[in-house]
Chain A
């Protein structure tokens, strides 16, 4: 996997291979009534859109409804896509907004305080709980892949909608901060702040699952 940015320490994910030029050509064909072009867009993006929505929404039935809704919107609104941003950004925006609309309706039910799983510090700025254990080599050793997946999904479900959208787009799908910002209407520093907070929360959840202090 190619890292985003230079001198990256953290392995990241590659950007989508589909070139924006290809996308634009397909959109042009769709505009002129070529349904095969829509089919090509569907094939190219359905897995990304599915993952994005599934991670944000968390259940199969609603995920399916929103995947349908998003691709139908692509078909119906392709005339209004002006190409000022990449097609992928527009698509992420459609999918994310469709998810956020639903998530806001159930916000009161599922949202919890993240604080219990975030790091804490003493007045002098040192870690509150010391020593901090390095459990990074224990994840695969102690948890099955499915357990990790379920744990992360449950943790993502507990994030506020904006944090949820940012971590799914960034760390699951590898979308650059700029595109995430455009899709969600956030500045790049705001994207980074939400991403960092979400990562800290997921880290806390993993630590807790392994029997260590999230702090």
Chain B
């Protein structure tokens, strides 16, 4: 009886995957890198599990907002200081190379 109960609790949704397994597969699923059979099992799970649908949507959203961080550029003042620093160093190196003594 206890075994049946345990088996029932472990019964995964949709074609054999648990929510935890779905989470583990999300990265490859989102990139389309899952094997076809695994992708089908995951899709079957999603059809039956609104929690994983919500989880996938929020995981995807997290990637999108993180992507948006890339539209940042070095502040102009910092860029100028770095450039000045590098030019100074390069000039010093060139002088040293030209006049090793």
Seen from chain A, the residues whose Cβ lies within 8 Å of a Cβ on chain B are 1, 4-13, 35, 38, 42, 46-47, 50-51, 54-55, 60, 63-64, 67-68, 71-72, 75-76, 119, 121, 123-127, 130-136, 139, 145, 148-149, 152-153, 167, 171-174, 192, 195-196, 199-200, 202-203, 206-207
Q: Looking at chain B's contact residues, is the secondary structure mostly helix, strand, loop, or mixed?
A: helix
State whether B58 touches A136 (Cβ < 8 A): yes
Closest 3 CB pairs of A and B: A125-B18, A7-B32, A136-B61
A-B contact pairs, 7 of them (CB 8 A): A10-B60, A50-B78, A75-B89, A127-B51, A127-B52, A132-B55, A135-B58
Chain B residues, CB < 8 A from A173: 70
Chain B residues, CB < 8 A from A207: 58
Chain B residues, CB < 8 A from A50: 72-74, 78-79
Given the interface pairs A5-B32, A5-B33, A46-B79, the reply to whether A196 lies near B26 with Cβ below 8 Å is: yes
Asked if B96 is at the interface (CB within 8 A of a chain A CB), the reply is no
Interface magnitude class on chain B: 35 or more
A166 CB to nearest chain B CB (Å): 12
A-B CB pair tally, cutoff 8 Å:
169
Task: Determine the distance from Cα of A133 to Cα of B24 in the docked complex, in whole angstroms.
Answer: 19
Q: Which of A5, A60, A200 contacts B31 (CB 8 A)?
A: A5
Q: Which of B9, B31, B58, B82 contacts A124 (CB 8 A)?
A: B9
Residue in chain B with minimal CB distance to A4: B31
Q: Looking at chain A's contact residues, is the secondary structure mostly helix, strand, loop, or mixed?
A: helix
Residue in chain B with minimal CB distance to A198: B66
Task: Determine the distance from Cα of A47 to Cα of B82 in the docked complex, in whole angstroms.
Answer: 12
State whether B58 touches A203 (Cβ < 8 A): yes
Chain B residues, CB < 8 A from A6: 32
Q: Which of B19, B27, B75, B94 contacts A199 (CB 8 A)?
A: B27
Residue in chain B with minimal CB distance to A129: B51
State whether A35 touches B33 (Cβ < 8 A): no
Given the interface pairs A46-B79, A121-B19, A127-B55, the reply to whether A8 lies near B63 with Cβ below 8 Å is: no
State whether A132 touches B54 (Cβ < 8 A): yes
Chain A residues, CB < 8 A from B73: 47, 50-51
